[in-house]
Structure 1
Amino acid sequence: MIGRELCIPGWVREQEWESNLFHPRNCKDLGLRFQIGHHKGEDCPFVPLAHPDDFVVLDNNGIHEVDIDFCGCPGATSHVAQLLNIGWYPATSKDPRTAATLSLLRRFHTLNLQARVPAYDFYNALALLRNGSGLRKAPARLPQFMHMVREYRHLQMCKRAGRIHDPTGLAGTVLGELAVACRACPHPEVNLPEGWEDAPPEIAWIYRLLVSEDANFKMKGRDRSSRAKDPTLGPGWAYMVANDDYLEHLVRYTEKDEISHCVSFAALWSANNKRAKGLRASGVGSVSCSRHELFRPLGTGDLQKGEKYSNMDYIFFSSLIGIALLTVVASYDIACQWSRNFWARASAMPARLKLPAGLNMLFKVPKFHLPPHVKSCHGPYSFNYTKGVGRTDGEGVERNWSWLNSAARSVSVMGPGSRDDTIDDLCGFSNWRKTVDLGNSLLRKMVLAIPQAMVHSRAFHAFTNGLRGEHETELHDWDTLIREWERDPLNADINPFDYPEIEVVALEAKRRTRTTIQATELQRKRTLLLGKVSALQDIQNVYMPGLRQWIAQQDPPLPVPDNSKPETIKIFLPSSLPAADREAVCLPNLTQNEEDLRQAQAGEALRELRSNLRTRTFAHQFKRKHMGGQGMYTKSQSLQDGIEDRVRSATARYRAAWKGLLVLRGPGEWQSELRELRQEDVRGINERAMNDEEKEENRKARLLAGLTGDGSEDVDAYGEPIPLTVHFNLEAGEGRRLASWLWLMPMGNCMLVSEIRLADDYIRVEWSKARARANRWREELLLLEEEMRRTVEFCLWKAKWWEERLGLRGGVAPALEEGLEAYVREQMARERGWAATWSARWLPVRTRAALVLRDYVGDVDEELLPLEVELEEDGQEEYEFDDFNEDDD
């Protein structure tokens, strides 16, 4: 059998009919012999006398004992080559007695990578297929199977990297060559345009490399075997760093202990080091690209004891070997500390890990990990406030862990070499799947970014326009402050995103439950209110002489007022009457008088509402910072209840005024300033409403708790629904938060000087954040466009790279030469197919993005520049912003 895979007969097991039943047999029992090295049906006239009579083959349908006749003809190939020629992979290169079909190895490899089926479980499943009853024990070949699987992994990585086409073979493999590179990241001389290094600062940021680093303490490695007995097949050829050089570096830092400040690093250090006894590796550290989450070549290594800088530095610098870019943005959950003395540690690295001179490094903390850091870290290390990173969150390496950890148990019991090879294979598979999915993932990101960029650009323009009347000068000052801070983000004295500290909060609270004294007070207030209502009704007899007659004519009759609850008595004003009846009921100009009063009432209620919402923010921040214990918590909650009462009162008065104006004026231009106040609009300047995903999660959680999914039973002490909002979220979710329209309107002149100053600080922070959001989404569009272009260019370059392998290896057998050429052409076809398919699929969305960037999304960094020129030259304070047409969105 030559040139194709020879499979073992039978689906599950071989059987022989005897004594009126089938008896289990194997191929050997049935007298079946496999002639290797000849075509089907041909016998070898030179069969060696010494041939294996205990050969075992592992196939998809079980474990088989077979008899084999190797070819002994003059000039016959080796036994190993004969086995490989029929698709059987031998367990050893010397006198093999065990083999596995390539079909079996391919199946296990796929199941292991995709479904995390361990080799131990897979092998035992084969044994069950062969002997489920346990009456006939299969030959033990687990160690041999492990050995074959490991070699198969390694050879597949080498083949896919083109090593078989290189005349130098495996010996010529360079460090990191077997890794699957991220084709959407920048690679000079591959997918970057000529002259990229001389690009002006306005666009140079799109050529940055963004990487993320983190440690994973679930990927442990037990102290099994040794590297002398279990060496790595490809040391440093893919993702895991070369162990010898790595350990040589680490021995110089055995006593270093760096974790000390910011978050609770002492507790983190303790957690990372507990239960380290009996482990060769307490975990792994790794570096991946932040934008696309692919593992970096030579960017993964074992951690011996905790997350030491000596380990993480080596892994990080190793992942940047050969980098030829100008700027790297590095994300790490302790970047605020790790960045200290970074360049001093870099200078102590081995020569092969030295970074190129002039490389600029920016350090950031992933978005989800930033809130627990101290306040001074939030501004300078936030992706939300960093120019040129788009909507990168830096958490991609964490998502890689969630995928890799499913193989942690099986990897933990491997020897050191097997562990390295397996992790290399797992990382390669992850990178490959993400490469295949680039057509979908970049498309999804662009589809999301286009409307978000428009929304946040429009929101920033609206916010700015709303501030012109009272903060025109401040706008220019804030813009100047932001530009200065962006040049020096570590300067805490000028951080435009810092809220003022609130040290003292004095609030008068209203109790939820009524005591006897409170009930008496309520009755007293009702008595006073009834007197005021009676006085108003007397005045109405003068200004609305036809009111009593109008009330008497209503059909059906209006309810009789309940004097015991004067708060329920309806007060009839001109806005309460149909427009056709007002002239007969009211004196002339009375309707206009109410309209003017309603306008004033709405403005006053709006200012009071904003003031109370600011107070609520201050109270929450004070509570979170200073309150501890049940007693203090209860008292603070009582104070916050009082604030909510005032928020509710101002909301009700505004809505009453707005409804009155709507009746008197009808829909019109006035609604652009005094808008309808919905429940989701009643939130502080740095509070955000729940998004759809959060509302859905809340609904599911309520259903699991036995409540209604719509929250209909969530009412306060007054029977009003409790709004679903997420309060004071300064980091997570910042990129999509939109300020309520309450804060886009002019503030008016009805505040104290201290309130105005405090309000200005909060407005400055929110305006700065709105500006940052608009910029980040605009950058996201530009980055995605560039990444799509780079991906296509990489595919075309890779196709040419494969084409250069044609005929590169000469002097081989014609059959092998034909196979090498076929493999190259297969790779070329796939790369060109990706380039054509993805280009066509992305064309509509790229065209739309270009139009949106041109017509709807302006660069906010440039928008305020004309203001500075006008102030200096003409002394005028005018702002020019493009308006957005709703119909064009």
Structure 2
Amino acid sequence: MRKRTLARVCRRNSYLAHTHHVQNNPMLVWMDECDSFIQEFLWLEAPDCVLWDSMLPQCPDCEREAGSYRCPQCFDMRLFCQTCTMNRHVDQPFHTVEVWNSQFFERCSLRSLNLHIQLGHPIGESCINPHRTHKDGFTVITSHSIIVVNLDFCGCSSVSQPTQLLRARLFPATTIEPQTAATFEVLKLFQLLTFGSKVSGFEFYQCLSRLTDNLGDPPTDRYNVFMRIVRQWRHIRAMKRFGREHDPSGVGGTREGECAVLCPACPHPGKNLPTNYSSLPASQAWIYSLFLAIDANFRLKRLSASNDIRDPGLNQGFAYFVEEKKYKEFLAVTTDLVTTEPSTCSNYDAVKLANIRGGNGVSASGVGTIECAHHDMKRPVSVGDLQLGEKYANMDYLYFSSIRNHSPATCVVSYDIVCQWTRKLGARAMAYPNGVVDPNFHQTGITYLIPKFHIYAHCDECQYKYSFNFTPHVGRTDGESPERSWAAMNPVSSSTKEMGPGSRRDTLDDHFGDYNWCKVISMYLLLLRKAQEAIAMQAEHVTAFNEFSSSLLGDATTAFSKQIWAYESGQSTQNPYELKLAAESQAKVRLQLAEEDSTAISQDDSLVIHKTVSQNVLISQGLELQDQQARLALDAKTLRGHITEHQQSQLVERRNRLQRRIAAWCRVQELYMPAVLPLRARAENTREGNVNAEHIKLFLPSEVIASIRLDNQLARLKWRLRYSQVFDHLAELRRHLLILSTMYQSKDNLSRGQKSNTRSVALIKNIQGRVNYVCQKYRSCRSALVALSGPLEETGWESLVQPLLDADVRSLKEGDDMGNSEGRRQLSWIWSSQRTSEAELTEGMNEALQIEWCKARARAQQWQEECILLREEMTCVIKFHQWQADTWETRAIKATSEGHKAYAWRQRQTRLTLIARCRCSWKGIEEKIQGGEGAVSAGDSLVECHTRVNI
């Protein structure tokens, strides 16, 4: 009986568990209802009445005839007669209806029901003018099908046929006797789909074709017509958005770059900058710097299809692509002016492949671009085709075109080959034809740098000279913004590479515009996230830098400060970030290690126990014995598994010597600590077999203070010795880590061949073993301090003697285990711990500390600069949106057409909405920026900023 009850309980629990699992999984719940879903789908295949009898119901509208027609695209699925179906679709003429043929619903068009579409009159009203135009078989491309309709153009007025179509929200394929049109709805849908999914026009049209007929009998091909309509639609929308019809000059008066979506956070004179920005001192003018990034993309190539005569572009330099005619004329006359120069840096791809990229059948090997480096947005008239690689002439033209209409007082330009590109940039600028280079162009206010990711492919000199990480007044800019935008643009290359030149430029202009607009509407979130991160990182790195500075001995901080200020102000050419001492040779390191071993052996042999010893000697010798045990244990572990007889004999001899010394020391210990006798006796009784010398318990005061009563003076003596030891161990650990990093550098630079590399690896293992040994000694010392601190009531020492984790044991050059970049890297606390003597600061250690101090200072300073830049960018964004709102308000007031006024007021409201979002999201951010740790204001000079971080 009990077994049956238990079985029922188990089955019930299993059922409840299964039920709970099903109820919490929507897919499992749906699978149980799958049959009912299929039944409902099949129910829709026939009228409700046919399921009960064979009689069709009367038409619910007229109630005279039987209803046999229904429209799947309307919500009302009842059956109507032919006349009522036509009347109900006068305002929905592009639907496709179905008729019941006594067996199933068969598709039919409204045209077959003799429905006519009348243009130029209200819905349902016919034109009685005898000169009206009737078109039987007019093709309309909609968002759900490609249909043929009967279309009547009005003859009552002089309005042209294309105009009548446009007023009916139909975009005509031509202005002369149009036979095809596309609805505004399908054009909007296709444009947004291309932005989001990068679907090609051919794929989209094929989808519409299959929606119309999926039995292999497609409608008349209108693909080429549809793509022509799409191009015109994009162009009209762009002209409308940028107010060209609100300007008396119209489309013909459009200036170059006028139809590009501008970055609201970038400095724009006359739009979002203060009137006195050009007269500000250098300590404040840097916040209005323009950040540019130069790059090329060789995926956006174009095959040799069509030409500019057969396929002209509609955007003639109005947006992002430069004006093609001027561009090609420039390239034609500068071919002989710019020659290939030998590289003085790494053989970088952009230089090496400048004359290789391209190939047969390709008219454009890619595109070059100039972008906003701080906000990842395409700049006006800053994109152009590359004919054969990333040549200087192409990139120069795009660069000068980008800054021609915007000449800021200061500018930061990043380019992956900037070290080669800028060598003769001034000479090339002077040789170029008039009109290409701004007459006011000068390089004194321009800083040229290399993007952070690309810089590691350059030589060491470039990594110090052109690094964003070590350059003041750039904040946390990385210069890699083009790479992020290319990731969004690369999917469209599959459809643009086979387009004609004009179609391709217009299509990419449209995609660049949408990419910029998405950045504009999300700018409030982007700057908010950046500000929140910058505030936290500023406090973190300023605090870390101050702690590191305070740990240095003597006037080291002052000396380092003078060197970095002299370099940044241009008074010195000596780069404080550059490593000047050569890596130590293997022979030198081996000699140092041998001398250390000799010292350790001499200390081991000098450990002699006298008949009469003091407490100081007892504790000191006990600590030395503990160190000998740790070293012996580490060596025994290293030799385990592949030890030779000679090594084994040496190990046994060391154990015997150590065991004799421990025995002598224990006899003296019993005089001062008699309470350890029962502890040692208990340990010997529980011991199984012989115990190696390295595992014998010494019962030092820190080990037994919790279980026996000790002399307070003895415990205090042990505390003082242990507390002094931890800092010696940290100094030794720092020295070994520095040697280890130089050995890795020496191995990479000097070791060649198997023999040399094997020796280097063996030496590195030796040093790593010493690092492990020092770590073990430090942890043992700290454990003793933890045990003694309670009975001795010692407090406040934990902030200086921190737990040593494996992640903390890293050199100056290494980041943490999370793989953080240079700007987010944090020093391990072991390097900011106090130093015990000037002897630790050898020449190599002093240089390493100076470089790391300068890097820590740069990290703190750049996060401070980022906070300043972000606060100013937030102000610029609001000012820019307000300027655009005022511009549209002026256009609305001056407009003579009600349509022009309504559109201008709507655009003004769009900008006001963006302003409201920004102000709501950024509420309280400025106070947090100004009140955080290490906070600085935009008006602080460089020296004042340094003072804020206690340099």
Matches within 5 A, 1:560-579: 560=687, 563-578=690-705
Of residues 206, 215, 234, the one that matches 2:315 is: 234
The alignment of Structure 1 onto Structure 2 pairs a total of residues equal to: 808
Report SS of the residue matched to 2:171.
Answer: strand
Deviation at 1:39, TM superposition (A): 1.4
Rounded to whole Å, the distance in 2 between the matches of 1:466 and 1:49 is 93
Q: CA offsets, 1:729-760, max 9 Å, x none?
A: xxx711111111211134333747xx611100
Q: Which residue of structure 2 aligns with residue 129 of structure 1?
A: 211
Q: Which residue of structure 1 aligns with residue 257 of structure 2?
A: 176
Of residues 388, 397, 413, the one that matches 1:330 is: 413
Of residues 52, 58, 68, the one that matches 2:135 is: 52
Q: Work out whether residues 701 and 715 of structure 2, in 8 Å CA contact, stay in contact via their aligned partners in 1.
A: yes
Q: CA offsets, 1:3-39, max 9 Å, x none?
A: x9965442xx444444744444334333222111111
Deviation at 1:379, TM superposition (A): 1.6
Deviation at 1:398, TM superposition (A): 0.8
Q: Which residue of structure 1 aligns with residue 910 of structure 2?
A: 830
Rounded to whole Å, the distance in 2 between the matches of 1:745 and 1:854 is 21
Matches within 5 A, 1:669-708: 669-691=796-818, 694=819
Question: For residues 320 and 271 of structure 1, do their structure 2 counterparts lie closer, same or farther at Cα, with a shift above 3 Å needed?
Answer: closer
Question: For residues 66 and 420 of structure 1, do their structure 2 counterparts lie closer, same or farther at Cα, with a shift above 3 Å needed?
Answer: same
Of residues 770, 774, 780, the one that matches 1:650 is: 774
Q: CA offsets, 1:494-534, max 9 Å, x none?
A: 33343633151345598766232434433333233322322
Rounded to whole Å, the distance in 1 between the matches of 2:548 and 2:130 is 89
Which region of structure 1 is more displaced relative to structure 2, 100-109 or 659-668? 659-668
Deviation at 1:536, TM superposition (A): 2.2
Q: Which residue of structure 2 aligns with residue 196 of structure 1?
A: 277
Question: For residues 854 and 550 of structure 1, do their structure 2 counterparts lie closer, same or farther at Cα, with a shift above 3 Å needed?
Answer: closer
Q: Which residue of structure 2 aligns with residue 664 of structure 1?
A: 788
Q: Which residue of structure 2 aligns with residue 768 of structure 1?
A: 854
Deviation at 1:637, TM superposition (A): 2.4
Question: For residues 597 and 353 of structure 1, do their structure 2 counterparts lie closer, same or farther at Cα, with a shift above 3 Å needed?
Answer: same
Q: CA RMSD in A?
A: 2.7
Of residues 909, 918, 924, the one that matches 1:844 is: 924
Of residues 166, 182, 193, the one that matches 1:84 is: 166
Which region of structure 1 is more displaced relative to structure 2, 676-685 or 286-295? 676-685
Q: Which residue of structure 2 aligns with residue 712 of structure 1?
A: none
Which region of structure 1 is more displaced relative to structure 2, 366-375 or 656-665? 656-665
Matches within 5 A, 1:741-756: 741-749=829-837, 751=839, 756=842
Rounded to whole Å, the distance in 2 between the matches of 1:6 and 1:112 is 29
Of residues 828, 836, 839, the one that matches 1:740 is: 828
Rounded to whole Å, the distance in 1 between the matches of 2:203 and 2:935 is 59
Q: Work out whether residues 881 and 911 of structure 2, in 8 Å CA contact, stay in contact via their aligned partners in 1.
A: yes
Question: For residues 388 and 590 of structure 1, do their structure 2 counterparts lie closer, same or farther at Cα, with a shift above 3 Å needed?
Answer: same
Superposition TM-score, scaled by structure 2 size: 0.81
Report SS of the residue matched to 1:351.
Answer: coil
Rounded to whole Å, the distance in 2 between the matches of 1:304 and 1:838 is 42
Q: Work out whether residues 454 and 857 of structure 1, in 8 Å CA contact, stay in contact via their aligned partners in 2.
A: no
The one-letter code of the counterpart of 2:381 is L
Rounded to whole Å, the distance in 1 between the matches of 2:457 and 2:478 is 16
Of residues 644, 653, 678, the one that matches 1:524 is: 653
Report SS of the residue matched to 2:810.
Answer: coil
Q: Which residue of structure 1 aligns with residue 675 of structure 2?
A: 546
Question: For residues 561 and 207 of structure 1, do their structure 2 counterparts lie closer, same or farther at Cα, with a shift above 3 Å needed?
Answer: farther
Question: For residues 537 and 219 of structure 1, do their structure 2 counterparts lie closer, same or farther at Cα, with a shift above 3 Å needed?
Answer: same
Deviation at 1:401, TM superposition (A): 0.5
Q: Which residue of structure 1 aligns with residue 483 of structure 2?
A: 398
Report SS of the residue matched to 2:136.
Answer: coil
Matches within 5 A, 1:271-670: 273-274=356-357, 276-355=359-438, 356-357=440-441, 360-467=445-552, 470-472=553-555, 474-488=556-570, 493-498=574-579, 500-506=581-587, 507=589, 514-516=642-644, 517-552=646-681, 559-560=686-687, 563-578=690-705, 581-583=708-710, 589-629=713-753, 632-666=756-790, 667-670=794-797
Report SS of the residue matched to 2:842.
Answer: helix
Deviation at 1:861, TM superposition (A): 4.7
The one-letter code of the counterpart of 1:496 is Y
Rounded to whole Å, the distance in 1 between the matches of 2:649 and 2:838 is 34
Which region of structure 1 is more displaced relative to structure 2, 54-63 or 254-263? 254-263
Report SS of the residue matched to 1:450.
Answer: helix
Q: Work out whether residues 178 and 238 of structure 1, in 8 Å CA contact, stay in contact via their aligned partners in 2.
A: yes
Report SS of the residue matched to 2:379.
Answer: strand
Rounded to whole Å, the distance in 2 between the matches of 1:637 and 1:179 is 58
Q: Work out whether residues 284 and 303 of structure 1, in 8 Å CA contact, stay in contact via their aligned partners in 2.
A: yes
Q: Which residue of structure 2 aligns with residue 107 of structure 1?
A: 189
Report SS of the residue matched to 1:669.
Answer: coil
**Could you list the runs of 5+ residues in structure 2 that have no partner in the other structure?**
1-85, 594-634
Rounded to whole Å, the distance in 1 between the matches of 2:308 and 2:726 is 78
Q: CA offsets, 1:114-170, max 9 Å, x none?
A: 111111100000000001011x33110000000000111111111111112112110
Q: Which residue of structure 1 aligns with residue 3 of structure 2?
A: none
Report SS of the residue matched to 2:797.
Answer: helix
Q: CA offsets, 1:822-880, max 9 Å, x none?
A: 111111111112112211220212221121267689979536988xxxxxxxxxxxxx9
Q: Which residue of structure 2 aligns with residue 886 of structure 1?
A: none
Q: Work out whether residues 132 and 153 of structure 2, in 8 Å CA contact, stay in contact via their aligned partners in 1.
A: no
Matches within 5 A, 1:7-22: 7-10=92-95, 13-18=96-101, 20-22=103-105
Which region of structure 1 is more displaced relative to structure 2, 509-518 or 182-191? 509-518
Deviation at 1:541, TM superposition (A): 2.3
Rounded to whole Å, the distance in 2 between the matches of 1:391 and 1:632 is 41
Q: Please tell me whether Structure 1 or Structure 2 has the larger radius of gyration of its CA atoms.
A: 2
The one-letter code of the counterpart of 1:112 is T
Identity within the alignment, %:
35
Question: For residues 127 and 778 of structure 1, do their structure 2 counterparts lie closer, same or farther at Cα, with a shift above 3 Å needed?
Answer: same
Q: Which residue of structure 1 aligns with residue 47 of structure 2?
A: none
Matches within 5 A, 1:843-882: 843-852=923-932, 861-862=942-943
Rounded to whole Å, the distance in 2 between the matches of 1:243 and 1:343 is 24
Q: CA offsets, 1:466-498, max 9 Å, x none?
A: 11xx241x3222211111211349x76433343
Q: CA offsets, 1:571-626, max 9 Å, x none?
A: 1111111257343xx5x732233223213322322221111100111111112223
Question: For residues 860 and 324 of structure 1, do their structure 2 counterparts lie closer, same or farther at Cα, with a shift above 3 Å needed?
Answer: closer
Question: For residues 593 and 857 of structure 1, do their structure 2 counterparts lie closer, same or farther at Cα, with a shift above 3 Å needed?
Answer: farther
Q: CA offsets, 1:188-221, max 9 Å, x none?
A: 1111112111212222110100010101111111
The one-letter code of the counterpart of 1:514 is H
Rounded to whole Å, the distance in 2 between the matches of 1:352 and 1:271 is 26
Q: Which residue of structure 2 aligns with residue 721 of structure 1?
A: none
Deviation at 1:259, TM superposition (A): 6.0
Rounded to whole Å, the distance in 1 between the matches of 2:937 and 2:542 is 6
Rounded to whole Å, the distance in 2 between the matches of 1:558 and 1:203 is 78
Which region of structure 1 is more displaced relative to structure 2, 403-412 or 845-854? 845-854
Question: For residues 129 and 367 of structure 1, do their structure 2 counterparts lie closer, same or farther at Cα, with a shift above 3 Å needed?
Answer: same
Rounded to whole Å, the distance in 1 between the matches of 2:218 and 2:803 is 80
Of residues 859, 864, 872, the one that matches 1:778 is: 864
The one-letter code of the counterpart of 2:739 is T
Q: Work out whether residues 350 and 417 of structure 2, in 8 Å CA contact, stay in contact via their aligned partners in 1.
A: no
Q: Work out whether residues 370 and 378 of structure 1, in 8 Å CA contact, stay in contact via their aligned partners in 2.
A: yes
Q: Work out whether residues 815 and 827 of structure 2, in 8 Å CA contact, stay in contact via their aligned partners in 1.
A: yes
